[in-house]
Amino acid sequence: MEINPSEAQVEVAGLKIRYFRGGSGPVAIKLHHSTGNPGWMASDDALAEKFDLIVPDLPGYNQSDRPVWARSIRDISILMKRFIEELGLENVTLIGCGLGGWVAAELATMSDAELSNLVISGAPGIKPNEGFIEDQIMMDWEEYVQLGFSSGDNYLNAYGEDAAEVYKELWDYSREMTARLTWKPWMYNKSLEPLLQLVNIPSLVIWGADDRITPLICGEQYSAALPNSSLQVIENAGHCVEHEQTSKFVELVSEFVGD
């Protein structure tokens, strides 16, 4: 079902944060990848059938103001926590995909007062015990987005034969914000993993079996570190599980929240 989301903005720490909102059900917030918020996607339609879904542009991405002082993902998590408070939300299911999952995990370690559930998918933020998190700085940004899918067809399904200029602009622009927030070390924070034990709410860790961006071992580490969590590995999916296996992704999240 195609949902027609509303678009609104809220101010946090003097910064405009833009968000889409659509659907009905329990409140869920979905945080986007490092490549920016491409807008209301098909996967958002599917989630909005089960949830009152809010999809914000993280601060510094797309239409949300850039916090020029921000130097870490944790800074973004603080702003997003205040975003949730500003909207007066409670019992939020917080869903984070890719870099958005890192933001969500950091946020949950601060306080889970407004949260009921945590879902993270393909999230960096933890230093993998083996291998490393793929470095988008060392490749063309379009190539990087393609690497986020387990197959070329799935990438084409999401973005088309020749990704629209507006997406390419977004990816290019998003890279700049990402490089402001994480660089050395690239895509992890050594102080996150030991703090995850503080998260009291149930959490679901979803990983694409073919994730070529954030290795599966990061999902295992997240699951081991979060006290009340389970790991679900999805076949035929890469880093962008929500785009590649949308119905499976939504089904897992719905079942998890329903429980």
Contact segment (CB under 8 A) with other proteins among 10-18, 25-33, 126-134, 138-146 equals 138-146
In the complex with other proteins, the residue whose CB is nearer, 119 or 181, is 181
The window from 5-13, 102-110, 175-183, 210-218 that contacts other proteins (CB under 8 A) reads 175-183
- 118-137 binders of other proteins (CB under 8 A): 137
Classify the C-alpha dihedral 231-104-109-131 as positive or negative.
positive
Q: In this structure, are strands 229-234 and 27-31 parallel, antiparallel, or unpaired? A: unpaired
CB 249 within 8 A of CB 234: yes
List Cβ neighbours of 193 (8 Å cut-off, separation of 6 or more).
Answer: 126, 127, 221, 225
Which one of 23-31, 94-102, 172-180, 250-258 is the stretch in contact with other proteins (CB under 8 A)? 172-180
Interface pick for other proteins out of 1, 6, 88, 138 (rule CB under 8 A) = 138
Task: Indicate whether 178 belongs to the interface with other proteins (CB under 8 A).
Answer: yes
- Work out whether 183 is an interface residue with other proteins (CB under 8 A): yes
Q: Which is nearer to other proteins, 86 or 176 (CB)?
A: 176
In 3D space, the residue among 15, 155, 130 whose CA is nearest the CA of residue 76 turns out to be: 15
- CA–CA separation, 95 and 84 (whole Å): 13
Q: Pairing mode, if any, of strands 92-97 and 52-56?
A: unpaired
Tell me if 172 contacts other proteins by CB under 8 A.
yes
Residues 6+ apart with CB under 8 A from 233: 207, 208, 209, 216, 219
Q: Are 17 and 11 in contact (CB under 8 A)?
A: yes
Report the nearest approach of other proteins to the CB of residue 184 (Å). 6
Answer for which of 19, 61, 141, 256 binds other proteins (CB under 8 A) is: 141
Binding-residue pattern over the window 84 to 123 for other proteins, x denoting contact by CB under 8 A: ----------------------------------------
Q: Give the shortest CB-167-to-other proteins separation in angstroms.
A: 14
Stretch that binds other proteins, among 148-156, 168-176, 190-198, 247-255 (CB under 8 A): 168-176
Least Å distance, CB 146 to other proteins, is 13
| 124: nearest Cα among 51, 59, 31 | 31
Site for other proteins in 184-243 (CB under 8 A): 184
Span interacting with other proteins, options 76-84, 99-107, 170-178, 232-240, rule CB under 8 A: 170-178
Nearest to 112 by CA among 227, 190, 3: 227
CA dihedral 46, 59, 64, 37 (to 10 degrees): -30
Return residues touching other proteins (CB under 8 A): 137-141, 172, 175-176, 178-180, 183-184
